[in-house]
């Protein structure tokens, strides 16, 4: 893994907070001319430090502001069942994040829904159709306190 210097880290920090900056704006913030900044940003992209650029949408504006964390236990632990679970979950739009975790549960899902009725329908009709699921446990978000959408370095 290559060493990142202070300028690389500053560029990553700036882009991590707001990726809509132009190269010219970035250059001004890191006290370099645009050409070396463009080269640095391309290198950071090519080396995987920057995965992609996205717009963060407000789920509430799209009637998807009901956030639920859903813990999943699989019926059994074997490769085939795990693979089927992942394949099925990737097809469900309400699941916006999925993590394979350790401990009492096997997976943690972050789910966006319109309201409790929508979530109930999701559990019965979408999660209920995933054969590999043994049990679920839902935790409902009352308020989002902190979400930086970024790493801290």
CATH number of the domain enclosing 42: 1.10.10.10
Q: For the whole model, what pTM was predicted?
A: 0.84
Q: What is the count of structural domains for the chain?
A: 2
What is the tens place of the pLDDT at every residue in 27-60? 999 999 999 999 999 999 999 999 999 999 999 8
Question: Do 127 and 65 belong to one domain?
Answer: yes
Structural domain for 92, as ranges: 59-140
CB contact at 8 A, 59 and 111: no
Nearest to 41 by CA among 67, 68, 64, 8: 8
pLDDT in tens, 92-123: 999 999 999 999 999 999 999 999 999 999 99
- Name the residue among 32, 37, 97, 91 with its Cα closest to residue 71: 97
């Amino acid at each position: 893994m290559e060493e990142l210097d202070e300028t690389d880290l500053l560029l990553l920090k700036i882009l991590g907070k707001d990726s809509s900056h132009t190269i010219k704006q970035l250059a001004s913030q890191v006290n370099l001319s645009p050409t070396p900044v463009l080269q640095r940003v391309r290198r950071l992209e090519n080396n995987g430090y920057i995965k992609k650029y996205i717009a963060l949408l407000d789920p509430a504006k799209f009637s998807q502001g009901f956030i639920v964390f859903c813990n999943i236990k699989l019926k059994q632990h074997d490769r085939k069942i795990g693979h089927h679970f992942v394949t099925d979950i990737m097809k469900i739009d309400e699941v916006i994040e999925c993590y394979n975790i350790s401990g009492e549960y096997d997976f943690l899902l972050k789910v966006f829904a319109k309201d409790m009725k929508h979530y109930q329908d999701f559990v019965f009709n979408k999660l209920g159709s995933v054969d590999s699921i043994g049990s679920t446990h839902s935790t409902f978000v009352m308020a989002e306190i902190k979400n930086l959408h970024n790493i801290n370095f």
